[in-house]
């Protein structure tokens, strides 16, 4: 498949607290920035794919340093400036890739450094089989509760059929570009993932098995656990 990759990294990472290394995508795990690990996975899996990294205007030094620490060729990587929401950052990446003659695009959160080749193969295989939108996801294992306003449980949400969405999500390029442009033109800027934009645009989204290890680093403890996991891999 002829695909490009967008890595969104323009968030401020406020839920992880502030740190001298910068926002969480630049925090060090196993001695290198999180985003360097994320990029490793994609340059290894698709060495010829163009990659657009979407960053905050304040982070140009941080991304330049992180690119120097990628294991693999960074020759196909371009850096562009993102927006105020994740949705706006993805659209900036898509617009930067328009005109490159790409059939498909994988869209990845910079803060997921553990995308493994088998997961990327599953996502790629679904595209090759004709899906226009592909979502890796994990069936929810915990029983889910909705909280009421007073700190007690309002209800139990049946978990059957519920999945937790991961990235990389993958799309037919023109389909997701059109959907994103439509969403932005309609004044929407609050979609938290791209599969939701495809759903909104009426594009069927194919579920594929995610990877349990493909966690999103959100809180301070996630970064510490990721560092420990890379330093002392589980047997």
Of 46 and 194, nearer to ligand C5P (C-beta) is 194
Least distance to ligand C5P, CB of residue 26, Å: 10
The reply on whether position 84 binds ligand C5P by CB under 6 A is yes
The reply on whether position 82 binds ligand C5P by CB under 6 A is yes
Least distance to ligand C5P, CB of residue 235, Å: 30
Least distance to ligand C5P, CB of residue 145, Å: 22
Give the separation between CA 193 and CA 86, rounded to whole angstroms: 8
The reply on whether position 81 binds ligand C5P by CB under 6 A is no
Residue 9 is classified by DSSP as E
**Nearest by Cα to 8 from 207, 230, 194:** 194
Of 1 and 69, nearer to ligand C5P (C-beta) is 69
Give the separation between CA 40 and CA 223, rounded to whole angstroms: 18
Least distance to ligand C5P, CB of residue 218, Å: 6
User: ∠197-199-201 over CA atoms, to 5°?
Assistant: 70
DSSP 142-185: SPEEEE-TTSSEEEEEP-TT-EEE-S-EEEEHHHHHHHHHHHHH
Considering all CA atoms of the chain, what is the largest pairwise distance in Å, rounded to the nearest integer? 54
3-state secondary structure of 195: helix
The reply on whether position 10 binds ligand C5P by CB under 6 A is yes
Of 11 and 136, nearer to ligand C5P (C-beta) is 11
Helix (H) and strand (E) counts in the chain: 7, 12
Give the separation between CA 174 and CA 3, rounded to whole angstroms: 12
User: Are the CB atoms for 179 and 172 separated by under 8 Å?
Assistant: no
Q: Single out the segment in contact with ligand C5P by CB under 6 A; choices: 66-74, 83-91, 122-130, 179-187.
A: 83-91
Q: Single out the segment in contact with ligand C5P by CB under 6 A; choices: 6-14, 71-79, 118-126, 178-186.
A: 6-14
Least distance to ligand C5P, CB of residue 140, Å: 18
User: Are the CB atoms for 189 and 87 separated by under 8 Å?
Assistant: yes
Of 57 and 129, nearer to ligand C5P (C-beta) is 57
The reply on whether position 25 binds ligand C5P by CB under 6 A is yes
Q: Single out the segment in contact with ligand C5P by CB under 6 A; choices: 7-15, 45-53, 151-159, 196-204.
A: 7-15
The reply on whether position 91 binds ligand C5P by CB under 6 A is no
Q: Which residues bind ligand C5P (CB under 6 A)?
A: 8-11, 25, 54, 82-86, 89, 109-111, 192, 218
């Amino acid at each position: 498949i002829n695909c490009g990759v967008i890595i969104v990294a323009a968030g401020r990472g406020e839920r992880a607290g502030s740190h001298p290394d910068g926002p969480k995508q630049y925090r060090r795990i196993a001695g290198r920035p999180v985003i360097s690990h994320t990029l490793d996975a994609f340059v290894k899996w698709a060495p010829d794919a163009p990659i657009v990294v979407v960053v905050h205007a304040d982070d140009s030094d941080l991304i330049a340093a992180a690119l120097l620490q990628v294991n693999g060729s960074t020759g196909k990587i371009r850096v562009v400036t993102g927006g105020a929401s994740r949705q706006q950052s993805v659209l900036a990446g898509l617009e930067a890739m328009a005109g490159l003659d790409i059939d498909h695009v994988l869209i990845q959160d910079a803060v997921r450094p553990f995308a493994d080749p088998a997961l990327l193969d599953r996502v790629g295989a679904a595209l090759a089989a004709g899906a226009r939108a592909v979502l890796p996801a994990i069936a929810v294992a915990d029983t889910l509760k909705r909280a009421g306003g007073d700190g007690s449980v309002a209800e139990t949400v049946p978990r059957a059929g519920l999945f937790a969405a991961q990235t990389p999500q993958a799309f037919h390029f023109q389909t997701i570009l059109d959907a994103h442009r439509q969403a932005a033109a309609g004044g929407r800027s609050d979609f938290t993932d791209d599969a939701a934009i495809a759903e909104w645009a009426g594009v069927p989204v194919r579920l594929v098995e995610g990877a349990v290890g493909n966690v999103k680093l959100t809180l301070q403890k996630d970064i510490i656990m990721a560092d420990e996991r890379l330093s002392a891999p589980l047997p």
